[in-house]
């Protein structure tokens, strides 16, 4: 029986609330599917920052390196600027462990309603791949003349041919495993004449290796429009760090709720642990109210199980979530229901144990 060591960082806000339910689901799933998950929890995040002046200990990355995967809740606090929380916890993990693929599925599930008119369940089914370690979020740049009227800020986006090629190649490999076999590249090379031109070059080069996959390239503004106008036209979408960040939030909303948005920060070569997390963030406005939707966290756990090689177990957990949504009786307020976080989690566990 395989045993997986999972580092758990519940984090901030509603992170601990949804992580608790997801871990319960994982334990029930493991019991049914004959594998074991050993969970090791680390209290890093904003509370740790208030006590120690940093988001995690100096040896935090070395500690995480020993685990098979990392399961993450959320990060962010109203009293800490976002660039501090991200650049001192989440982004260092992604970069240090070369988690260059951020995979975010966006599916309109049965029983879930899109704010877009006339979109039936299953008609929106896309996998968005966001480059996760370079591009616009490399945090290169600086300030000059700080505090003076002529203050200057320089923000540099870093693109490498290798970095573009490898994430684009992952998109094509994923498309080969899907029915429609189509990859859409997101660019802005008409205005960003260096980084995005290199991105386009990489896309053309990699596409030549996959003649069985249909392709298109869209400017990011046009892609945002088409996500709203005809999201069903997309299959696999690959984008840079910034563009992928924006588009995945749009995709989450048009498929019903941020509370269903799962993600994986993946090192495909398994040289380092990958990290799985719901997209919704810490949501400080609803902390402690018992209304946060744990399904994104549970679906992220399914992604983690799949990455660890337990495909049938991952499918089982995903089917359990889809069945619950289709029944429509136990849903949190973001999906039009009245159930609490724990009630949804309990329903998933009960179904897994049945």
Out of 62, 82, 113, 145, the active site residue is 145
The residues, any chain, with a CB within 8 Å of residue 225's CB and separated by 6 or more, are none
Whether 221 is a known active-site residue: answer: yes
Out of 200, 249, 323, 334, the active site residue is 249
Q: Which has the closest alpha carbon to 180: 190, 168, 171?
A: 171
Whether 82 is a known active-site residue: answer: no
- The answer to whether 277 touches 263, Cβ cutoff 8 Å, is yes
Q: Which helix (H) or strand (E) holds 48?
A: helix 46-52
Whether 145 is a known active-site residue: answer: yes
Q: How far apart are CA 206 and CA 229, in angstroms?
A: 28
Q: How far apart are CA 102 and CA 94, in angstroms?
A: 9
Residue position matching structure tokens 């689901």: 25
Out of 12, 125, 235, 245, the active site residue is 245
Whether 188 is a known active-site residue: answer: yes
Give how far the C-alpha of residue 63 lies from the chain's centroid of Cα atoms, to the nearest Å.
22
Q: Which helix (H) or strand (E) holds 307?
A: helix 295-307
- Copy the structure tokens of residue 49: 């920052």
Q: How far apart are CA 304 and CA 294, in angstroms?
A: 15
- Copy the structure tokens of residue 234: 């997309």
Out of 49, 100, 125, 188, the active site residue is 188
65 φ, ψ (degrees, to nearest 5): -60, -25
Out of 62, 82, 221, 329, the active site residue is 221
Whether 212 is a known active-site residue: answer: no
Environment class of residue 290 by beta-carbon count within 10 Å: exposed (0-12), middle (13-18) or buried (19+)?
Answer: middle
Instruction: Catalogue the active-site residues.
Output: 145, 188, 221, 245, 249
């Amino acid at each position: 029986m395989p045993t997986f060591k999972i580092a758990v960082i519940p984090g901030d806000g509603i992170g601990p609330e949804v992580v608790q339910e997801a871990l319960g689901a994982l334990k029930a799933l493991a019991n049914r599917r004959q594998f074991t998950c050993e969970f090791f929890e680390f209290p890093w995040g904003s509370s740790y920052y208030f006590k120690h002046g940093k988001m995690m200990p100096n040896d935090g990355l070395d500690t995480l390196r020993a685990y098979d995967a990392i399961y993450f809740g959320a990060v962010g606090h109203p009293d800490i600027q976002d660039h501090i929380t991200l650049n001192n916890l989440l982004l260092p993990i992604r970069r240090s462990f070369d988690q260059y693929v951020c995979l975010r599925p966006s599916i309109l599930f049965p029983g879930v309603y899109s704010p877009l008119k006339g979109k039936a369940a299953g008609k929106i089914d896309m996998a968005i791949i966001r480059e996760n370690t370079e591009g616009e979020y490399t945090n290169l740049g600086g300030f000059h003349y700080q505090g003076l009227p002529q203050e200057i800020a320089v923000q540099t986006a870093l693109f490498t041919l290798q970095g573009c090629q490898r994430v684009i190649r992952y998109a094509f490999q994923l498309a080969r495993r899907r029915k429609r076999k189509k990859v859409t590249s997101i660019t802005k090379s008409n205005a960003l004449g260096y980084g995005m031109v290199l991105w386009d070059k990489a896309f053309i080069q990699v596409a030549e290796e996959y003649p069985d996959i249909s392709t298109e390239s869209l400017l990011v503004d046009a892609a945002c429009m088409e996500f709203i106008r005809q999201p069903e036209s997309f299959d696999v979408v690959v984008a840079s760090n910034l563009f992928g960040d924006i588009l995945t939030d749009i995709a989450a909303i048009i498929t019903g709720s941020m509370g269903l948005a799962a993600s994986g920060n993946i090192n495909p070569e398994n040289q380092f642990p990958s990290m799985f997390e719901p997209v919704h963030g810490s949501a400080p406005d609803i902390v402690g109210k018992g209304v946060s939707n744990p399904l994104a966290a549970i679906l992220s756990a399914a992604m983690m199980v799949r990455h660890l090689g337990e495909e049938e177990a991952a499918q089982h957990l995903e089917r359990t979530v889809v069945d619950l949504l289709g029944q429509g009786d136990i849903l949190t307020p973001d999906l039009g229901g009245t159930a609490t976080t724990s009630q949804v989690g309990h329903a998933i566990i009960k179904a897994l144990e049945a």
